[in-house]
Structure 1
Amino acid sequence: MKINNSIGCTVDECRFHAKKESFCSLDHINVVKHEKSARNQEATDCGSFKLEG
């Protein structure tokens, strides 16, 4: 698995997590908002997440 040192990640339940290091293995991620207007961190998520398994 390749590691993208430009995308940090601590969500090791994701299939794209680099496992041995706190990085993502994707070339890019899609950040999405789940409110009409994102005004804080809690209003956004990584839309590229896929459950490991």
Structure 2
Amino acid sequence: APATINLDNPSVQTAIDLVPKVPKKKKIDVALSNSFGFGGTNASLVFRRHA
């Protein structure tokens, strides 16, 4: 997972892994990409690892 830059002191405790400053290796099987454009042009793509 990519690092969250400029995260020195998170203000709250959370169950979400914020990944501060240093990226972590992680196997990602599914990814979602959302794109939004002017005039209501919107698209969503879902990518899945092919076995």
Quick check: which has more Rg, 1 or 2?
2
TM-score by length of 1: 0.23
TM-score by length of 2: 0.23
Higher relative contact order (CA 8 A, sep 6+): 1
